[in-house]
């Protein structure tokens, strides 16, 4: 039995608030954290690798996975389907490894309602301002003006669900937010109910005490 149950670490935020960057930093800090590679029906962007950035699949294939119960969560966003395959996540948590999710509030809600809900640690990232959020989206130079406008329109819907999360951080500075995330994860790993080996350890202490007395 592993020393503890693996966490499902959910990072959510409006697009452009820094969750993808912070997710990469967390995995550099602790390489044992596994990233949940999402399945999607969207077209790969330049440089994206199938199986590494996303599992790119057809709409029919995606729907079959949902029907067969192979998706932990899924959603339809900007005309495409996204979802988290269940198998790799359960395998990781059963072996005591944490799994990191870069998903929206809908996905977070589905995971919270799943059979793995007791392993969830959810964190929402707020931008310092709406103006700064738009500036970050424009600075990425990944999307055209129309897509940026759609992301901005969706941002308030994302932000309005901030109070459904365990922790909420304002991402004013990446280094500061990164340090806060590490503190949260380290503390959550040490929670009593996430350390199944403690019961046996305490029983051992009790037996030792009884023998000595």
The DSSP call for residue 78 is: T
Q: Render the burial of 132-164: b for 16+ CB within 10 Å, e for the rest.
A: ebbebbeeeeebeeeebeebbeebeebbeeeee
pLDDT of residue 169: 97
pLDDT of residue 125: 94
Its pTM surpasses 0.85 = no
* Strand ordering across the sheet containing 8-12: 34-35, 99-102, 8-12, 120-126, 167-170
Q: How many helices (H) and strands (E) does the chain have?
A: 8, 9
DSSP 138-155: HHH--S-HHHHHHHHHHH
The pLDDT assigned to 26 comes to 96
pLDDT at site 142: 67
Q: Are 207 and 31 in contact, with CB atoms under 8 Å apart?
A: no
pLDDT digits (tens, 9 = 90+) for 25-57: 999 999 999 999 999 999 999 999 999 889 999
- Provide the residue ranges of all domains of the chain, joining segments of one domain with +: 8-36+97-212
Instruction: Look at residue 141 in the predicted model and tell me its pLDDT.
Output: 64
* Residue in 6, 2, 31 with CA at minimum distance from that of residue 118: 6
pLDDT at 150: 80
Which residue ranges of the chain lie beneath pLDDT 50? none
To the question of domain 8-36+97-212 being in CATH 2.20.25.10, the answer is no
């Amino acid at each position: 039995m592993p020393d503890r149950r693996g966490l499902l670490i959910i990072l959510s935020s409006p697009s452009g608030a820094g969750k993808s960057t912070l997710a990469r930093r967390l995995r550099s800090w602790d390489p044992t954290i596994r990233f949940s590679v999402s399945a999607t029906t969207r077209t790969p962007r330049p440089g994206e690798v199938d199986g590494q950035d996303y599992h790119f699949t057809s709409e029919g294939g995606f729907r079959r996975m949902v029907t067969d119960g192979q998706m932990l969560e899924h959603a339809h966003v900007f005309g495409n389907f996204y979802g988290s395959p269940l198998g790799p996540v359960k395998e990781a948590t059963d072996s005591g490894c944490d799994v990191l999710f870069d998903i929206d509030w809908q996905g977070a809600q589905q995971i919270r309602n799943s059979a793995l809900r007791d392993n969830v640690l959810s964190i929402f990232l707020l931008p310092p301002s709406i103006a700064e959020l738009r500036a970050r989206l424009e600075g990425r130079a990944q999307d055209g003006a129309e897509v940026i406008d759609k992301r901005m329109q969706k941002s308030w819907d994302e932000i309005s669900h901030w109070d459904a999360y365990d922790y909420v951080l304002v991402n004013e500075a990446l280094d500061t937010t990164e340090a806060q995330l590490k503190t949260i994860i380290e503390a959550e790993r040490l929670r009593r109910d996430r350390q199944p080996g403690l019961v046996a350890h305490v029983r051992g202490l009790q037996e030792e005490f009884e023998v000595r007395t």
